[in-house]
Amino acid sequence: MDFKKIIGLLSILLPALIILLGILRVFVQKTKGVNGLTMLFAVLLLLIGLIRFYVFPDQNNSGGGNTKAIPLTVSKHSEAFNLSFEKVLTAYYQLTSDFVSADTNRITQSAAGLKTALDSLKIDELKVDTLIWQTALQPYENTKAELSAVIADPSLAEKKASLNILSNELFTLLSTVRYDRARLYWQECNTAFGEDKPGNWISKTEQSVNPYGQKDCAEIKTTLNFIPADTTKKQ
């Protein structure tokens, strides 16, 4: 019970106690009771307390308003799972950014960072649903395998080819687990590897720089959005 509700109860109990003591003194102890003015004041306080507590109950439970906000969204995954996947995506965005700069040393370093994040992904949480777990395990392992290829590939061209496969596997993983903490965009450059040979990547914004090298070659093919509907209500 909160403090304001306690105050509301006391505003009823105290005047009621004064009235009760006055009645006891007159009818039980046969002595002079509480004077009439005090008794009248106690009765008025009791009425005010009853009206406040039962007729306007919201005033006992809120800080002056009657609007109560319910959390906007509730994820189907645990906070630990979402945080671990957020780290994976952050590391992935760093990797694609380093591909834009075409610095193979930085690409290798950021790929190692993504590997650490993937190894720490709380994917075991999915075991509560056998079908999702079995479906997600393959793209998860494939993502890690292609990441190892990004690290090991000697040339930038080979690293780009591995990035393309890695991105496809990571996108499949995100779709399978229905990641619901952010809206993501599946981008494509249809000439990333030559005429009619597309390359894809995931971005967190609609406007994205092509990590495969071609300028002004980026098109949103689909949007990944499993964010729960806004459940905010006013009561």
> Helix, strand, coil shares of the chain as percentages rounded to 5?
60, 10, 35
Q: Note the pLDDT of residue 111.
A: 97
**pLDDT band at 67, cuts 50/70/90?**
very low
User: Which one-letter amino acid corresponds to residue 112?
Assistant: A
Tokens, residue 24: 């006891």
Q: Is 192 helix (H, G, I), strand (E, B) or coil?
A: strand
Name which residue leads in pLDDT, 206 or 57: 206
Name which residue leads in pLDDT, 12 or 96: 96
Q: Note the pLDDT of residue 229.
A: 75
Distance CA 229, CA 25 (A): 64
List pLDDT tens digits, range 136-176.
999 999 999 999 999 999 999 999 999 999 999 999 999 99
Closest CA relative to residue 89, chosen from 2, 202, 172, 13: 202
Q: Are 12 and 57 in contact (CB under 8 A)?
A: no
**pLDDT band at 76, cuts 50/70/90?**
confident
List pLDDT tens digits, range 197-227.
999 999 999 999 999 999 899 999 999 999 9
Lowest mean pLDDT among 22-36, 57-71, 170-184, 195-209: 57-71
Q: Note the pLDDT of residue 213.
A: 93
Closest CA relative to residue 93, chosen from 191, 185, 188: 185
Tell whether the torsion through CA atoms of 197, 90, 186 and 146 is positive or negative. Answer: positive
Task: Say whether pLDDT at 73 is over 90.
Answer: no
Q: Would you list the domain boundaries of the chain? A: 3-61, 79-224
Q: Are 42 and 18 in contact (CB under 8 A)?
A: yes
Q: What is the CA radius of gyration of the chain?
A: 33
Lowest mean pLDDT among 8-17, 111-120, 211-220: 8-17
